[in-house]
Amino acid sequence: MKILLVGEYSRLHNSLKEGLIALGHEVTIIGCGDHFKNYPVDIRLKRKYTSGLTKKWKVLLFKLFSLDLASENIKKQFFNHSEKLKNYDVVQLINESPLGVTPKIEKEIILFLAKNNKKLFLLSCGTDYISVRYAYDKKFNYSILSPLFNGKVSKKEFDPALKYIQPKFKSLHEFVFQYISGVIATDMDYHIPMKGHPLYLGLIPNPINTEKLSYIPVNTQSKIIIFHGINRGNYYKKGSDYFEEALSMLEQKYSDKIEIITVESVPYAKYIELYNQAHIVLDQVLGIDQGYNALEAMAKGKVVFTGAEKEFVEYYNLEKTVAINAVPDAQAIYNDLEQLVLNPSKIAEISKNAREFIDTEHNFIKIAEKYLKKYNSFESICSSR
């Protein structure tokens, strides 16, 4: 089977590609690499007008004429590769806005892909219309929008998420859903909002290439190392403020027992290099399930503070602790960290549980097989309707 994966912002498509190739399929990824994270792609679309005078010129033209130079440039690059983007058996979009351009240009690109390939699928693995609408309507106990509701950020600061429920992006959502065979969610945060939708094909857990991620045996004979990676653009969305408050309290009391590594907005490869030595990784607070960074850390045997709510535990029927459920309460996070610092044997126990969970539920080849079953259940674009 010949498969085109469009967009990449968590290494999800790279791991899926590796699983599909292992099963004998031909896979190509096209995308921008997700800004500073710089994920690998086969056909790279370079995002321009991001700094200096060119950025100011772009902003001015957008204000005066609603012309987005960066999006127009991505469109030009995309269609320069048009002959390489035809005749695939399956095309999969990482998001309703897979290339991060204006809704008008995303529609042109998606229409081209739909008309020139056999099947089109969509992932729900990041902010999109349905998940943001669900969160905005406060159907979760807490969500990525909680900082907005709590007054920590303004609507303007949260525009990267809120734009998905604005008219132009709602229109894009409706447009995309006209052409896809179905939607696949990658974790509980997207599964729950999608439940009951006629195009929802179910949850397939994120693929993790366990062959590339070696388990690192835990050694807690010296200080407990805690890693906190901050993406400043998602600071409140990830709940980093709760982590920093908890770490501050912990350092005051246990500076002789712990070492804290904090990094900010570094490329993926550097991020991995820095957290390899940690025992504990602080990932995110405002989620039900784990994101991609958390899963890769768990594969290496890290004790990860992340989303691990009861919906997640019940879905996988877990009896062992595989991650620490980080709730939006700095004192609660501190309490959980303190228990680990005072009881290093718990770190070793959770570390082993985490790796076993990834091997069982997220192995990249097993996950690729699940995707293939979904792909093969449709004859062509829109054939299910």
Residues 199 and 127 occupy one common structural domain: yes
In a domain, 327, yes or no: yes
In a domain, 118, yes or no: yes
At 320-374, the pLDDT tens digits run 999 999 999 999 999 999 999 999 999 999 999 999 999 999 999 999 999 999 9
What's the one-letter identity of residue 214? S
Residues 118 and 233 occupy one common structural domain: no
Residues 326 and 368 occupy one common structural domain: no
Domain that holds residue 85: 2-207+364-376
Backbone angles phi, psi at 123, to 5 degrees: -100, 145
Residues 199 and 244 occupy one common structural domain: no
Residues 25 and 132 occupy one common structural domain: yes
At 12-29, the pLDDT tens digits run 999 999 999 999 999 999
252's CB contacts (< 8 A; 6+ apart) are none
How big is the chain by its Cα radius of gyration, in Å? 21
In a domain, 112, yes or no: yes
Task: Output the pLDDT for position 60.
Answer: 66
C-beta separation of 364 from 19 below 8 A: yes
| E-assigned strand segments in 111-245 | 119-124, 182-185, 200-203, 224-230
Residue 261 has pLDDT above 60, yes or no: yes
In a domain, 384, yes or no: no
Q: How many domains does the chain have?
A: 2
In a domain, 219, yes or no: no
At 155-193, the pLDDT tens digits run 999 999 999 999 999 999 999 999 999 999 999 999 999
* Mean pLDDT in residue range 279-283: 96
In a domain, 382, yes or no: no
**360 membership: H or E segment, kind and range:** helix 344-361
- In percent, how much of the chain has pLDDT > 70? 93
pTM of the shown model:
0.92
What's the one-letter identity of residue 35? H
Name the residue with tokens 């905005």.
Answer: 136
* Mean pLDDT in residue range 266-289: 88
Classify burial at 310, counting beta carbons within 10 Å of its beta carbon; exposed 0-12, middle 13-18, buried 19 or more.
exposed
**What's the CATH number where 269 sits?**
3.40.50.2000
In a domain, 18, yes or no: yes
Which of 8-12, 15-19, 266-270 bottoms out in mean pLDDT, i.e. has the lowest? 266-270
Strand order in the sheet with 2-6: 43-44, 26-31, 2-6, 90-93, 119-124, 182-185, 200-203
Residues 357 and 368 occupy one common structural domain: no
Backbone angles phi, psi at 67, to 5 degrees: -100, 120
Residues 228 and 81 occupy one common structural domain: no
In a domain, 253, yes or no: yes
Residues 228 and 187 occupy one common structural domain: no
At 36-88, the pLDDT tens digits run 567 889 999 998 866 676 777 666 666 666 778 889 999 999 999 999 999 99
What's the one-letter identity of residue 17? K
